[in-house]
Chain A
């Protein structure tokens, strides 16, 4: 055993750090120079699509390199990519799409010119996703499907050009078997989008109504009835990404700084034992979670499965995100209540907002209660 990275991996880490230092836009440039940043990543040799294989223009990172790459990117708060295309759909296209589909869709995903949304959940199909009822009926001539139904909680549907969607093509067998994976253009006149306003008044999720939308068979991924299998692989990608460990490491050090700004008596909030202990407990748990990720990484590097530990990443990671948001809320003191105008300590408004927003992290991408059931069953063999 060796707790250090190899010399080669350390050299890679330095390369990533140097790249970030040279290219990362700072301050306000973060927004205006976004595309320059992604171009620089691309020019570096496919670093804009770090998880893609070489055959599709990716850098072909080893698992350890990928880990280091993500680590440095998160640590430096580099501009995030909207995950739906690059992280979630692309692997499915690569594994199950036709060459024609890959050539048609991957470039737009890669350069960010085409936005995607994920149309899985429905009013009756949340945790029980396989219960989805949006219906796709193959036309008599076999050229296209006619799709009718409703999706809900569709993140960023209102800015998406396309939606990758699970639909029901068969009702006769077990639920999972009649599901098909379709790509649906959002500018179809049969698509209607209604915003859903979530806790704190923001708009990111939507209801999507689908009425008589014709989808060419050419826009189906893989075989009819196999959509569930394709999507399940994808959900694993989604879940490992949702733990947000490095973001939490960063968020926790910000929480510490926030607490240092808050005067309590002659000292600061960090001198209040109850607060300091909660912060410390989170630091300890995050250390453990970070190393859990490394154990899983080691296992993958050695050519095995990620290991049973990896299943806890999303569960624990999201719990930690929520607890960090509680610390910031407490640090905001009476200003935790303020909303609207920027008043009180600079971090207060964001703290309140984050406390509300992070409630969703234990609901989406597999609600925690259901995740625990899955782990109990698949990892622990409990029924």
Chain B
């Protein structure tokens, strides 16, 4: 067993951390978030130049050939900075779907465009009735000549606003809750019949509800086999959960450390807050929650890297634990900052909101605990 990071991973961590520390002070971050795009295209281009956009793709596809552990290292640092660029949507979700399930032509067309920064993308999977069930899909793709017509509506599509391509989960047969009969399509975001409603998310990112009315796709746009898309959806979700978990671990670290720093400096009743036993214990618990979440995040990521049979179950445990830890750490960071914790001026509020959103994505604590114990 070897739990040490490789030299490359340490270098990656250092370079992402350096970037985040120099470019992602909270005031600048919030200004970016409020801008029309909601993130920086310049930064995105820098990510391309630094090779971060090529991280998970195989060398055969022109990538760096990183593993999920490398993505974890990067996402944890992104979490420390509440990075806004659509890395999760484009590289982790869309990108890994193409690299895992794309054919030669799809990989050759799409992956280089992701890696050089010219293509941003989204994965449109959730629907109003699906709650957290990824297989619960009503959006239909009906055969039409040599292609398909897509009809339906996807919700809270992350990064929908800037995506050039959408990966859409559809139903080609069966009823809404079947695991079979699901087929994925790569759809041009500008295709006719697509109507998007863009909105900010509470954590300062962007999402969209996307309505598909007779949107035509060709057979060449299909990702993977007809009716067997659920396995791909699940794989994307797993990669997304691992990335979100790493991001949450980074965000929790900032929160518990900021809370320690604040309580050392804030005085009430002639003492620093950090001297009150109940607060010491609370911060110790925040630290424990973070440490355990980080451990399980590492374990699940390593299992995924190895393709272990235990991966799926561990990912359920992970998403449960991340949700629970995030809530505890987030709520107590606000609480221990008192009124200051309620202000948008301190960064605590923004990390709190990001963690709250992470629990709502790809299944919340209840959803995953139920599957873990099943």
Say whether A200 contacts B155, CB under 8 Å.
no
Interfacial chain B residues near A337, Cβ < 8 Å: 156, 201-203, 205, 207, 357, 360-361
B344 to chain A minimum Cβ distance, whole angstroms, is 5
Q: Is the CB of A341 within 8 A of B197?
A: yes
Contact A200 B202 (CB under 8 A): yes
Cβ contact of A363, chosen from B200, B270, B342, cutoff 8 A: B342
Partner of B342, one of A121, A198, A275: A198
* B133 interface residue per 8 A CB criterion: yes
CA distance A127 to B272 in the complex (A): 12
Q: Are A369 and B209 in contact (CB under 8 A)?
A: no
Q: How many residues of B contact A (CB 8 A)?
A: 50
Residue A199, interface by CB 8 Å: yes
Task: Compute how far the CA of A203 lies from the CA of B278 in the bound complex, rounded to whole angstroms.
Answer: 31
Once the chains are docked, how many angstroms separate the CA of A207 from the CA of B237? 45
Residue of A275, A333, A338, A355 touching B199 (CB-CB under 8 A): A338
The one of A152, A197, A338, A369 that contacts B202, using a Cβ cutoff of 8 Å: A338
A344 at the interface (CB under 8 A from B): yes
- Contact, CB under 8 Å: A334 / B155: yes
A108-116, A265-273, A292-300: which lies at the interface: A265-273
Residue of B nearest to A128 (CB): B268
B87 lies within 8 A of chain A by Cβ? no
Q: Are B338 and A336 in contact (CB under 8 A)?
A: no
The complex places the Cα of A271 from the Cα of B18 at a distance, in Å, of 48
Inter-chain contact A131/B268, CB cutoff 8 Å: yes
Distance, CA A214 to CA B157, complexed state (A):
57
B353 near A199 (CB under 8 angstroms)? yes
CB <8 Å contact, A274 and B369:
yes
The residues in B between 54 and 102 inclusive whose CB is less than 8 angstroms from any CB of A are none
- In the complex, what distance in Å separates the CA atom of A276 from the CA atom of B70? 39
Task: Given A334-B156, A335-B155, A343-B197, check contact A355 B356 (CB 8 Å).
Answer: yes
In the complex, the chain B residue whose C-beta lies closest to that of A265 is B177
The secondary structure that dominates the B interface is mixed
Please measure, in the bound complex, the distance between the C-alpha atom of A362 and the C-alpha atom of B126, giving whole angstroms: 34
A196 at the interface (CB under 8 A from B): yes
CA distance A364 to B342 in the complex (A): 11
Contacts of A364 in B (CB 8 A): 339
**Is A330 interfacial (CB 8 A cutoff)?**
yes
- Contact call B353/A344, Cβ cutoff below 8 A: no
Q: Given A201-B344, A265-B133, A333-B360, does the pair A340, B339 have CB atoms closer than 8 Å?
A: no
* Interface members, chain A 183-224 (any B CB < 8 Å): 196-201, 205
A334 and B356 within 8 A (CB): no
What are some 7 contacts across the A-B interface (CB < 8 A)? A152-B339, A198-B343, A198-B349, A272-B366, A272-B370, A337-B361, A344-B128
Q: Which residues of B line the A interface, CB within 8 A?
A: 126, 128-129, 131-133, 136, 155-156, 177, 197-203, 205, 207, 209, 267-270, 276, 278-279, 327, 331, 334-335, 338-339, 341-345, 349, 352-353, 356-357, 359-361, 364, 366, 369-370
Q: A197-B345, A335-B156 are in contact. List 16 more A-B contacts (CB 8 A).
A: A127-B338, A205-B339, A263-B129, A263-B131, A265-B136, A269-B131, A330-B364, A337-B205, A338-B207, A339-B202, A344-B209, A356-B202, A359-B352, A363-B339, A368-B335, A369-B279
